[in-house]
Amino acid sequence: MRQMTFALLVLAATTIGAFAHSKAEQTTPANEATVATVEAIEMRFDDPMRVTAITLTGPDGDVNIEQETGMDAVTEFRALPPADLPDGAYTVDWRGLSSDGHPMQGTFGFTIAD
């Protein structure tokens, strides 16, 4: 009985810890989507996230993007790429701190094609 109680406590602690971290629930453009243009790069999180770094890499290397959202913890993050992105495959890499202070990171990609 004692082992079973301990196992249940460990399972409960692990489950609660797993839900404590923010995660990107939705991105714009959607992961693996093919789009004609990109006006903004957006990420929506289930809990506040302070995005500390974001990079956009395209067919010609890194692309300069402007963070429209500052360093505050938010549930919706937005960055603006240049208006004239050429056709090709793009990858967004981001890092941040979740609302419980844990470092988080993620990646999603999309393709621009006319």
Q: Residue 109: beta bridge partners?
A: 91
Q: Residue 3: its pLDDT value, please? A: 54
Q: What is the pLDDT of residues 2-24, one digit of tens each?
A: 554 444 344 444 434 444 556 66
Q: How far apart are CA 98 and CA 81, in angstroms?
A: 24
Residue boundaries of the structural domains of the chain? 2-112
**How is 22-90 classified by DSSP, letter by letter?**
--EEEEESPTTEEES--S-EEEEEEEEEEEEEEEEEETTEEE--EESS-SS-EEEEEEE--TTPPSEEE
pLDDT band at 60; cut points 50, 70, 90: very high
pLDDT class of 1 with cuts at 50, 70, 90: low
* 62-94 residue pLDDT tens: 999 999 988 899 999 999 999 999 999 999 999
The CATH T-level fold of domain 2-112 is: Immunoglobulin-like (2.60.40)
Q: In this predicted structure, what is the pLDDT of residue 11?
A: 40
Does the pLDDT at position 51 exceed 50? yes
